[in-house]
Chain A
Amino acid sequence: MAVIEIKNVAKTFGSYQALHDINLTIADQEFMVLLGASGCGKSTLLRIICGLETASEGEVWIGGRRVDHLPPKDRGISMVFQNYAVFPHLTVFENIGFGLRMQKMPDDDVKRRVERTAGLMHIDQLLSRYSGELSGGQRQRVAVARALAMEPDVILMDEPLSNLDALLRMEMRAELKGVLAESNTTAIYVTHDQVEAMSMADRISVMHEGKIVQAASPIEVYRNPAAEFVAGFIGNPPMNFLDATPQGGGKYTVAGHSFDGPSAANSNLQFAIRPEDMKLSDDGLQAVAKVVEPLGAHLLVTCELDGKLFRAILDSEMQVKPGDVLKLAPMPDRIRWFDPATTLAVA
């Protein structure tokens, strides 16, 4: 149980600036996901919070205590590593109890804690095995159990599910979320997988080039991306963008049609709409279908519209062939606008 405050944290590696002035507050027992492409600085930020890396500037506070000068073990954290880092020379029992042994906890207490957390992660049958005898999923469970056994204030996870196959990942996602919610810990979870982020997070911090672009609830990040990067990163397929020219009076021309837009701005903007937020209508934007992908639940059509690629998700019953002309009408309340100069959202 702890609030985490990251104040003006920056990190440079030689001449490369990995993190720029990061400010983030994570509430007690919140599940915060750091989401971004590889190289965006999310793992570096996690390692700074953890203490495996030192910030070049700024402060890290956990539970009202400044911790950036403390070694990892004194920060009240524990961590799940991407490659699990389950010690191969120790049994599952000794792996889970490793941190407790380092604290010189009495044997009886270690046993009780290890058995309880192993039960929680459904690995109580494996306690005498070595990691070489475990599957990837089981090793993952050991890594999580080892972190939970410490009963930390904060649990840090660095792409913990990225080495599992798709089915197992989905299963572990739900299970992890449940276990962490019950353990009352604050969690920071690093991933590049937006589905993981959307499904698990209380709040997502989308990172790009060493900055936090947006920190908000999953639905907010999805519906109201704060910047073009977020709109283009979140969602599969991502948002569509079209050029918009102002007519004055809050009206904009997009692909020959007129739309109501932000009245304050009177410059060229980017018009953005999610592929699923379109209806077929006679007064819609004219698009020529290029590629048609039936995905079962729906039909993904990649079209050309105003000289750009434009994706639409349509009902799977629709009959569309490449070359067909579609009339796509964006749902007015789902249209978003971005300023190409700042790449930020304009209301």
Chain B
Amino acid sequence: MNPRLLPYFLIFPVTLFLCLFFLYPFVLVSQEAFSNENGYNLDNFREVTSYWKFPISLKNTFLLAAAVVPVQLALSLLMATMVNRMKRGRDLILYIWTIPLGISDLAAGIIWLAIFEQSGFLNSMLGGLGLIDSPTNFLSYQTPVMVFVAIMLAEIWRATAIMLVILVAGIGLIPKEYYEAGEVFGASPWQRFLKITLPLLRPSLQTALVLRVILAFEVFAVVQALGGTLFPVLMGETYAYQFDLLDGGAAAAIALIILAISITFTLIIMRALRVPKGATI
């Protein structure tokens, strides 16, 4: 076989797969979003954005992302730094910390529901300690903050590991000599983290943040399990349009709005953490 054609031949199956199962449905969804019985128009977008739940679910989605992602970033950086310093047992700790990655988001939501619900672990623990007389309902419409905190905790527990794995790999790529140079030239451990680790970790931070932010805008199952209708989010609205209201056009429109938000944030993150030409390791 002609060696110049070989690479194209090799990527052909995956390209075909992506076109068939990604690009084609995407075109269909777009078509559906931008059209109704009257032909091509923006009616679906008008419909979903003018619905009273839209601003709330948009606000909730952003609020959740804004609350969860920075905490996860800080946590995963701290955990990655710690793991990287370990001499023994490093792999074991890493495996344990990444266990939540293997659990589906709905299962994660249910686990945290089992903690917070009226007959849950938290109530029995507080009751057992004599701190409360009777079980309280933490996840009700009267306690929106508690619902938010529960969702936040579940999301942090579930999805920090994905950032951790990327950052651990990234920190491992930074040559030790940079830290030694930092130490010799008077940088304290904190300064070495700020002036050496963080800037040299930019490519990994980019990947981790983009991935995590996209997932944050797609949050669904955890919210469903813990908040139900108390805490509407964009993805939940998509689901409701598609399966409760059987309005495929509106569901497609919201899906595209989520995509647009994801793309915007991806571009912002890429831009903010870009590495100047010639400044790579």
Task: Give A residues with C-beta under 8 Å from B.
Answer: 50-52, 71-73, 77-79, 81-83, 85, 87-90, 98-99, 102-103, 129-133, 146, 150
Contact B200 A81 (CB under 8 A): no
In the assembled complex, the CB of B77 is this many whole angstroms from the nearest CB of chain A, namely 17
Contact B185 A99 (CB under 8 A): yes
Query: Which residues in window 157-184 of B have CB below 8 A to A?
Result: 175, 177-178, 180-184
Contact A87 B178 (CB under 8 A): yes
| Chain B residues within 8 Å of chain A by Cβ, number | 24
Contact with A along B182-194 (1 / 0, CB 8 A): 1111110001000
Binds A, one of B10-18, B144-152, B226-234, B273-281: B273-281
Of B178, B184, B200, B277, which contacts A132 at CB under 8 A?
A: B277
A291 to B185, CA, bound (A): 52
Of B177, B191, B280, which contacts A85 at CB under 8 A?
A: B177
The 8 closest A-B pairs by CB, nearest first: A132-B278, A99-B185, A73-B186, A102-B186, A130-B278, A85-B181, A133-B278, A89-B199
Contact A72 B184 (CB under 8 A): yes
A72-B184, A85-B175, A146-B185 known; 6 other A-B pairs, CB under 8 Å?
Answer: A72-B186, A83-B177, A85-B180, A87-B181, A88-B279, A103-B186
Of A73, A79, A83, which contacts B175 at CB under 8 A?
A: A83
Contact B184 A73 (CB under 8 A): yes
Tell whether B196 is near chain A: CB-to-CB under 8 Å.
Answer: yes
**Which residues of chain B come closer than 8 Å to A79, judged between CB atoms?**
181, 184
Contact A85 B183 (CB under 8 A): no
A68 to B4, CA, bound (A): 61
A276 to B174, CA, bound (A): 48
A79 to B280, CA, bound (A): 23
**Which residues of chain B come closer than 8 Å to A72, judged between CB atoms?**
183-184, 186
Q: With A52-B183, A71-B183, A102-B185 given, is the CB distance from A81 to B177 under 8 Å?
A: yes
Identify the interface centre among A72, A88, A102, A146: most chain B CB within 10 Å of its CB: A88
Contact B181 A81 (CB under 8 A): yes
A78 to B195, CA, bound (A): 19
**Which residues of chain A come closer than 8 Å to B200, judged between CB atoms?**
88-89
Q: Main secondary structure on chain B at its contact with chain A?
A: helix
Contact A50 B178 (CB under 8 A): no
**Which residues of chain B come closer than 8 Å to A87, judged between CB atoms?**
178, 181, 196
**Contacts between the two chains (Cβ within 8 Å), count:** 72
**Which residues of chain A come closer than 8 Å to B281, judged between CB atoms?**
88
Pairs across A and B, CB under 8 Å, 16 listed:
A52-B184, A72-B183, A73-B186, A79-B184, A81-B180, A81-B181, A83-B175, A85-B175, A88-B280, A89-B275, A99-B185, A99-B186, A132-B277, A132-B278, A132-B279, A133-B278
A90 to B194, CA, bound (A): 13
Contact A52 B180 (CB under 8 A): yes
Contact B178 A130 (CB under 8 A): no
**Which residues of chain A come closer than 8 Å to B278, judged between CB atoms?**
129-133
In the assembled complex, the CB of B266 is this many whole angstroms from the nearest CB of chain A, namely 22
**Which residues of chain B come closer than 8 Å to A133, judged between CB atoms?**
277-278
Contact with A along B243-281 (1 / 0, CB 8 A): 000000000000000000000000000000001111111
**Which residues of chain B come closer than 8 Å to A52, judged between CB atoms?**
180, 183-184
- Nearest B residue to A79 by beta-carbon distance? B184
A81 to B175, CA, bound (A): 12
Contact B178 A85 (CB under 8 A): yes
A52 to B185, CA, bound (A): 12
In the assembled complex, the CB of B161 is this many whole angstroms from the nearest CB of chain A, namely 27
**Which residues of chain B come closer than 8 Å to A85, judged between CB atoms?**
175, 177-178, 180-181
**Which residues of chain A come closer than 8 Å to B185, judged between CB atoms?**
73, 78, 98-99, 102, 146, 150
Contact A73 B183 (CB under 8 A): yes
- Nearest B residue to A103 by beta-carbon distance? B186
**Which residues of chain B come closer than 8 Å to A131, judged between CB atoms?**
278-279
A68 to B181, CA, bound (A): 18
**Which residues of chain B come closer than 8 Å to A83, judged between CB atoms?**
175, 177
A47 to B37, CA, bound (A): 77
Contact with A along B32-76 (1 / 0, CB 8 A): 000000000000000000000000000000000000000000000
**Which residues of chain A come closer than 8 Å to B178, judged between CB atoms?**
85, 87
- Nearest A residue to B192 by beta-carbon distance? A102
- Nearest A residue to B196 by beta-carbon distance? A87
**Which residues of chain B come closer than 8 Å to A132, judged between CB atoms?**
277-280
In the assembled complex, the CB of B236 is this many whole angstroms from the nearest CB of chain A, namely 41
Of A78, A88, A90, which contacts B184 at CB under 8 A?
A: A78
Contact A130 B279 (CB under 8 A): yes
**Which residues of chain B come closer than 8 Å to A130, judged between CB atoms?**
276-279
**Which residues of chain A come closer than 8 Å to B202, judged between CB atoms?**
89
In the assembled complex, the CB of B173 is this many whole angstroms from the nearest CB of chain A, namely 12
In the assembled complex, the CB of B259 is this many whole angstroms from the nearest CB of chain A, namely 32
A27 to B279, CA, bound (A): 40
- Nearest B residue to A150 by beta-carbon distance? B185
- Nearest B residue to A94 by beta-carbon distance? B195
A90 to B191, CA, bound (A): 15
A79 to B181, CA, bound (A): 8
